[in-house]
Amino acid sequence: MDFVWGNITIIVVVIGVIFGIIVLIYLWKAKKKYDPYLIDFERKRNQCKMHSWSGIEDFYIENDRQGLVPMGTYEGECIDKEGFHDILFSRKKWGKVGGFLYKVLFFARPILDLIIKKFWIVRCNTVKSMIVSETVTLKGKKRTFNKKKFLAVPLITRGNKSMILHADGLQIKKYFTYPILKDVEGFTINDEVHNFKRERDTVITDTLYDQTVEFSNAMREAINMNPSLRYVVKTDGKTLPDTSGGQ
């Protein structure tokens, strides 16, 4: 204890430098270019945290080849409108150093969660089948047919404070990860196209919503900066009286 009080200035300076570096890294990340896929990931992450299952601490995957494989700390889960069961888990960066900083700088954990913790979202399909459109050319004419596409739904179990995903592994696609599954004959199921379409449609919808809001704000600012236009809006389309003195 005497050693701590005798070197309190050095300890405070070291902690201050570390905290300053963390803040700079956080500000640097905050200035990254606009990425709608990243924004979608962050929304899903918050949604998973909001629906966290109490009593679950660890996340694993299990298969016949590797057995039970620890993936990280369970952070939450949710069901989204795209038809996925999203599972959020995390790992600490920098190994033991990251774990030490996480314990020492406990007062800065909201920021440390963004820097030291690496978050992953596993998107597990919940829809057994979906209707897809296919366009073919018959006798010189294009015709569109709707057919049913069967999709794989992974098995998820809970027990002993753990969540277990039964899959051959996880495949990273930009920000999200997807379980690698096999069909009844042992062949790996390739559902990347359908997963991409779901991500793309979500991002397009969110982008259109954001652009609509920005356009509305820009129009409101334009109206506020134009006195004549503000008068027209407030008087239901009536124009300003002519005060120039002309005949």
- Residue 72, Cβ neighbours under 10 Å: how many? 17
Report the C-alpha gap between 112 and 97 in whole angstroms.
13
Cα–Cα distance, 30 to 26 (Å, whole number): 6
Are the CB atoms for 117 and 183 separated by under 8 Å? no
**Tens digits of residue pLDDT in 37-61:** 888 999 999 999 999 888 899 999 9
Which 3 state secondary structure label does DSSP give 81?
A: coil
| pLDDT score for 216 | 79
Cα angle, residue 184 at apex, residues 178 and 185 outer, rounded to 5°: 105
Query: Which amino acid would we find at residue 167?
Result: A
- % of residues, the chain, pLDDT over 70: 65
State residue 116's pLDDT score. 74
The continuous run of DSSP H or E covering 60 comes out as strand 58-63
Q: In angstroms, rounded to a whole number, what is the distance separating the alpha carbons of residues 199 and 82? A: 8
Q: What is the pLDDT of residue 167?
A: 93
Tracing tokens 């004549």 back to the chain, one arrives at 228
Question: Using one digit for the tens of pLDDT, what is the confidence trace for 170-212?
Answer: 998 889 999 999 887 888 888 888 888 888 888 888 888 777 8
> Which amino acid is located at 6 in the chain?
G
Strands 84-92 and 129-138: unpaired
Q: CA-to-CA distance for 167 and 179, rounded, in angstroms?
A: 6
DSSP alpha helix (H) spans, 58-191: 95-104, 109-115
Kindly list the domain boundaries of the chain, sorted by start residue: 1-32, 36-188
**How many angstroms separate the CA atoms of 141 and 138, rounded?**
5
DSSP-derived letter for residue 53 is: P
Give the mean model confidence (pLDDT) for residues 6-20.
Answer: 68
Closest-CA residue to 122 (of 48, 178, 50):
178
